[in-house]
Amino acid sequence: MSIEKQSIHGQWSSRWIFILAATGSAVGLGNIWKFPYIAGENGGGAFVLVYLGCVALIGIPVMMAEILMGRRGRQSPINTMAYLADTEKTSRLWIGLGWMGVLAGFLILSYYSVIAGWAMAYVFRSASGAFVGQNAQQIGDMFAAFIGSPEKLLVWHSLFMLATMVVVARGVKEGLEKAVVSLMPLLFILLAVLIGYALSSGAFAEGFNFLFAADFGKVFYLCESVNGVETCRFTFGPILTAMGHAFFTLSLGMGAIMVYGSYMPKNVSIARATFWIAGADTLVALMAGLAIFPIVFANHLEPAAGPGLIFTTLPIAFGQMVGGRFFGSLFFILLVFAAWTSSISLIEPAVAWLVENRGLSRLRASMVAGIATWAVGILTIMSFSDWAFSFHFLGQKKSDGLFDVLDILTANIMLPLGGLLIAVYAGWVASRKLSRDELAMGDGPAYRLWYFVVRYISPLAVMVVLLNALGVFDSWLS
């Protein structure tokens, strides 16, 4: 029998609440623009199939491991790893994994809040008709002027952080749970409304084909036209992209899933819940693509615009189409909701630790963590102002300021390293009894398959993600 332990912070009311909360953590700004964009660029439906395979081999096994560790420890990631080190008789150096997850979430939220603040501002800009009749140059100038104004960014960054801490301060039941119960259904409703509009855009079939038409040639071959002659060569680029996104999209390695797992009821199946979370996260990304790309194609815009798709390309479409003010506002509200559900999970590990180790009330812990995160976020705001400076960081070809440093440090190093260590701990360091007890799968084929994957396949795959993010394979892909 496993050692029964209860979290002092409370627990989710049901399996579905946990699934909504963990899905909210996973669904963020990247789901709304990044997945549809990279899927279309790398083979559409073929890339989606490769991505789903990567989710199965990387995302789901590592998420199961992170959840089971969290549920066994029933504390913040730091204290959970301390508890596991003691009960599993492993080195206390593994507490560093908890610290890294808490720090990663803290640093990510510091700049994530700034970007989410942009979405908040654009809700009001769209509603006011600021995009109506504007051409691409004017929209671009508007965006450049906005992010170049530290005062405006500070206001929106502050408002978003305040909204985040109001939820977190209310605790698991009254704060986190009520927020996800309200926000996640609304997020799906907003996506459905936008897809409904996209159906009437006249370019839904084109957008659908862009996202789902399977072209395995784009997944395995890179073709370029030089002087009118097309040459193709084998490439791992899209496959590595799918592997990386499969890992990052589920919020692994940043302590959020571990702390959410610590609030998970004992009678809930970790395996079933994880499959639901991965499925819902992928569904949101695909729905976002179905909402976005028909609008892009209907307005003869460039679908492969990357991050600019949100703040410089789509506003052009919203400014030109019938009902653009309304649907543009809905779209940016959707972005805010997606960012909000992620942000509360990013700061929760730090708040939980302050309550457990410093004896602070939930309110005071939220204030301390929120103010500290807000202050670090000012460094990101500076990166977009006249105070920005350029330098190279960890071999990157170009880096423009502290925002890039934080992004590279967290996304390229801390998260994959955290995921790698989670897989290693669950598969190699901790006893099999720990995972068997928490997964409650017995010692049958399903458990043995998971154990094999988390021991051998997932660590290797996450290591490839880490090395690729650090640019080790750049010479192979160039």
Confidence of residue 383 (pLDDT cuts 50, 70, 90): confident
**What is the average per-residue pLDDT within 117-121?**
96
Domains, the chain, with CATH or none: 15-477 (1.20.1740)
The least confident of 208-212, 285-289, 347-351, 401-405 is 401-405
Decide if 221 contacts 234 (C-beta within 8 A): yes
Confidence of residue 400 (pLDDT cuts 50, 70, 90): low
Confidence of residue 34 (pLDDT cuts 50, 70, 90): confident
The least confident of 139-148, 157-166, 366-375 is 139-148
**DSSP conformation class of 222:** E
What is the per-residue pLDDT for 37?
Answer: 79
Q: Is 409 exposed, middle or buried (0-12, 13-18, 19+ CB in 10 A)?
A: middle
What is the per-residue pLDDT for 1?
Answer: 43
| H-type alpha helices, 75-222 | 77-87, 95-127, 136-147, 150-169, 171, 178-199, 204-212, 216-220
The secondary structure element, H or E, covering residue 349 is helix 324-358
Sign of CA dihedral 64, 69, 72, 74: negative
Report CA-CA distances (Å) from 273 to 250, 261, 282, 438. 13, 11, 14, 13
Axis-axis angle for helices 432-439, 270-298 (nearest 10): 70
Q: CA neighbours within 13 Å on the CB side: how many for 438? A: 26
What is the per-residue pLDDT for 456?
Answer: 96
The secondary structure element, H or E, covering residue 345 is helix 324-358
What is the tally of helices (H) and strands (E) in the chain? Answer: 25, 2
For 164-197, write each residue's pLDDT tens digit: 999 999 999 899 999 999 999 999 999 999 999 9
- Tokens 């440093």 belong to 405
The rounded Cα 183 to chain-centroid distance in angstroms is 16
The secondary structure element, H or E, covering residue 368 is helix 362-383
Alpha-carbon gap, residue 333 to 29, rounded angstroms? 12
User: Which region, left, alpha or beta, applies to residue 253 given φ > 0 means left and ψ of -120 to 50 means alpha?
Assistant: left
